[in-house]
């Protein structure tokens, strides 16, 4: 598939998906949603980590409102079900770890997209805005799932009802994101984090993500059972054997992949 609204680059085991509609603050239209979904499904075939970021001064302004002007409610529901859900599910199900490198404003569905990644790193100048209430809508694209889990119901409710910007530093303090870094260091930090993931034990990463996501709906007994089963799977990998050997030989491990 050729891409018109995103850029895809793969180097040193890292696939970088860059939203590339800077004139629209990387607003999501139908073509971009399709291309992001395709890239997330296929980039891991050639990479061991994925970075999602934006061009220009924004990460993603959310739904391109020009693309949705005059669209009836039934069509908005269809778009969410048939275009947003596959994109977000592709991010959640990605075969390798994902980083949202939030280089600027992440608003509406753009914030939801960022917060759906495994790790979120934001530049200090970035901000997150649950802007839906400003135009008479509810948070969507997974926002009502992720926000209460990440920052608790009181803060999630305030962010949604007041629709006020949350700075990167505030998001870090709340536990909404992993890390806020000075703008001048942002690219280097993202590269270093992505390189660490690309060099790591891919199967273990996949199982960690599976266990973490399952914990939201499991009771303790079910989670302990899941941990035992997944740990057995991890312990049967070549990566585990290499990790133990490297520990005893006092050298960095050389993981080979899935």
Q: How confident is the model over 46-91, as pLDDT tens digits?
A: 999 999 999 999 999 999 987 666 666 778 899 999 999 999 999 9
Other beta carbons less than 10 A from residue 240's beta carbon? 18
Residue 157's pLDDT is what? 97
Give the per-residue SS3 of the chain.
CCCCCEEEEEECCEEEEEECCHHHCCCECHHHHHHHHHHHHHHHHCCCEEEEEECCCEEECCECHHHHCCCCHHHHHHHHHHHHHHHHHHHHCCCCCEEEEECCEEECHHHHHHHCCCEEEEECCCEEECHHHHHCCCCCCCHHHHHHHHHCHHHHHHHHHHCCCEEHHHHHHHCCCCEEECHHHHHHHHHHHHHHHHCCCHHHHHHHHHHHHHCCCCCHHHHHHHHHHHHHHHHCCHHHHHHHHHHHHCCCCCCCCC
Residue 69's pLDDT is what? 62
The pair of structure tokens assigned to 91 is: 């991010």
> CA-to-CA distance for 33 and 157, rounded, in angstroms?
27
Are 89 and 80 a contacting pair, CB within 8 Å?
Answer: no
Residue 55's pLDDT is what? 97
Residue 258's pLDDT is what? 54
pLDDT, one tens digit per residue, over 170-180 is 999 999 999 99
CA-closest candidate to residue 14, choices 196, 245, 156, 161:
196
pTM: 0.93
Per-residue pLDDT of the chain (258 residues; tens, 9 = 90+): 899 999 999 999 999 999 999 999 999 999 999 999 999 999 999 999 999 999 999 999 999 987 666 666 778 899 999 999 999 999 999 999 999 999 999 999 999 999 999 999 999 999 999 999 999 999 999 999 999 999 999 999 999 999 999 999 999 999 999 999 999 999 999 999 999 999 999 999 999 999 999 999 999 999 999 999 999 999 999 999 999 999 999 999 999 865
Residue 122 dihedral angles phi and psi, to the nearest 5°? -125, 145
Are 150 and 120 a contacting pair, CB within 8 Å?
Answer: no
Q: Mind listing the domains of the chain with CATH numbers?
A: 6-198 (3.90.226.10), 202-249 (1.10.12)
């Amino acid at each position: 598939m050729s891409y018109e609204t995103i850029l895809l680059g793969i180097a040193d085991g890292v696939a970088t998906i860059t939203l590339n509609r800077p004139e629209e603050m990387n607003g999501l239209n139908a073509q971009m949603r399709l291309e992001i979904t395709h890239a997330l499904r296929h980039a891991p075939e050639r990479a061991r980590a994925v970075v999602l970021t934006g061009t220009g001064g924004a990460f993603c302004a959310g739904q391109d409102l020009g693309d949705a002007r005059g669209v009836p409610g039934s069509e908005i529901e269809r778009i969410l079900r048939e275009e947003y859900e596959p994109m977000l599910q592709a991010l959640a199900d990605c075969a390798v770890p994902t980083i949202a490198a939030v280089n600027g404003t992440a608003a509406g569905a753009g914030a939801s997209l960022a917060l759906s990644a495994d790790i979120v790193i934001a530049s200090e100048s970035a901000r997150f805005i649950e802007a839906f209430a400003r135009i008479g809508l509810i948070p969507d694209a997974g926002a009502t799932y992720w926000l209460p889990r990440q920052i608790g119901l009181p803060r999630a409710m305030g962010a949604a009802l007041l629709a006020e910007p949350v700075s990167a530093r505030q998001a870090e303090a709340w536990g909404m994101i992993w890390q806020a870094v000075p703008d001048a260091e942002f690219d280097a930090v993202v590269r270093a984090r992505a390189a660490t993931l690309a060099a790591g034990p891919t199967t273990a990463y996949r199982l960690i993500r599976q266990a973490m996501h399952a914990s939201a709906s499991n009771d303790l007994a079910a989670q302990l059972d899941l941990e035992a089963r997944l740990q057995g799977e991890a312990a049967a990998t070549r990566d585990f054997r290499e990790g133990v050997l490297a520990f005893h030989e006092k050298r960095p491990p050389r993981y080979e992949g899935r």
